[in-house]
Amino acid sequence: MTLSKRHIAMVLVLLASCGENESPSPVQPPGSPTTTRTDALEAGATLLQRKEPLDALNTYLDGFHFYNGSMEQQMEAHHYCSLLNEDVTQCVIYDGNGSDAKIMGVEYIVSGKVFETLPPNEKHLWHSHVYEVRSGQLIAPGIPETAEKVLMAKIAGTYGKTWHTWHTDQDHALPLGTPMLMMGFTQDGQAHAQRVEARDQRLGIASADRRESRADLEYPQIDSDADAWQKGIVVQLQAVRKDRKGNGRKGNDEFNPPQPVPLPADGQ
């Protein structure tokens, strides 16, 4: 994900044309429709307010995540990212790519050079991107495949730390429960083939073709402390209540592990 300014100008200038709303959000929150007054206020804010942080989200990536410790619970994740410097990128993650999309969470991405400086316990919270790139499952919709390949060559050597706060994949109409640490796939047979195929058909791409095209990229060795779930190290947050003396106990309303949800039908 760490790109030079030259790569940004050369590769990502076409990102504005990322297609129609081909991936709608699966949920609608409770609440009344916006009023004419609210619509007018929003229109004024659009014209008058500065939005540099939003404008900086100039890279769109689409891939897949799973709940750390629960690989069967997978979802598509739409990343809108901005580069902070050559080694650090930040992404807002949505459950779709249209105006109705809900913010599911965030992902922070660092270069291998920065990742090496982290202590082992911190590295356990991060996942590698080698397989996501190599498999063709991570894509940058809307840009030419040759340009996408340049981008993926950069991403392959990075690591991501991802937290989801709104579990719309579980049909939650509101952001309920605790944030969940997410991970990425590391080998064939982990991602649900039906889910990947449905995404490919919806966005008009073929992950298998991307995989073949990226076969000649250089893939670095993965740090042994990343993808710690593979070694049985699974980290998730837990709700804890404290009394006035600061004594803690596990709450009764902590977010339970996600339950299975149906796979998408073919082409959906």
Average pLDDT over residues 19-46: 85
pTM of full prediction above 0.75: yes
Q: Please, are residues 186 and 227 in contact by the beta-carbon 8 Å criterion?
A: yes
User: What's the pLDDT at 206?
Assistant: 96
Residue 11 has pLDDT above 50, yes or no: no
262 in a domain, yes or no?
no
How far is residue 267's CA from residue 178's CA, in Å, rounded to a whole number? 32
What is the per-residue pLDDT across 229-265, written as a single tens digit (0 to 9) for each? 999 999 999 888 877 777 766 654 444 555 544 444 4
The secondary structure of the chain as a DSSP string is ----HHHHHHHSGGGG---SS-S--S---SSPPPPHHHHHHHHHHHHHS--HHHHT--EEEEEEEEETTEEEEEEEEEEEEEESSSSEEEEEEES-SSTT--EEEEEEEE-HHHHTTS-HHHHTT-EE-HHHHHTT-SB-TTS-HHHHHHHHHHHTT-EEEEEE---GGGT-SS--S--EEEE---STTSS-HHHHHHHHHHHT--HHHHHHHGGGS--PPPPTTSSGGGGT-------EEE-TT--EEE-S-PPPPPPP-PPPPTT-
122's tokens: 């911190």
User: What's the pLDDT at 249?
Assistant: 64
Phi, psi (degrees; rounded to nearest 5) at 44: -65, -40
Q: What domain range includes position 11? A: 5-18+52-250
183 in a domain, yes or no?
yes
How far is residue 94's CA from residue 100's CA, in Å, rounded to a whole number? 10
User: What's the pLDDT at 1?
Assistant: 47
Q: Please, are residues 26 and 172 in contact by the beta-carbon 8 Å criterion?
A: no
What is the per-residue pLDDT across 56-81, written as a single tens digit (0 to 9) for each? 999 999 999 999 999 999 999 999 99
How far is residue 264's CA from residue 268's CA, in Å, rounded to a whole number? 6
261 in a domain, yes or no?
no
User: What's the pLDDT at 258?
Assistant: 54
138 in a domain, yes or no?
yes
What is the per-residue pLDDT across 165-184, written as a single tens digit (0 to 9) for each? 999 999 999 999 999 999 99
Residue 151: exposure state from Cβ atoms within 10 A (0-12, 13-18, ≥19): buried
Q: Which long-range contacts (CB under 8 A, 24 or more apart) does 115-118 make?
A: 115/158, 115/159, 115/223, 115/226, 116/223
29 in a domain, yes or no?
no
What is the per-residue pLDDT across 121-153, written as a single tens digit (0 to 9) for each? 999 999 999 999 999 999 999 999 999 999 999
Give the number of domains in the chain: 1
Written as one letter, the residue type at 197 is E
- 130 Rama class: left (phi>0) / alpha (psi -120 to 50) / beta: alpha
109 in a domain, yes or no?
yes
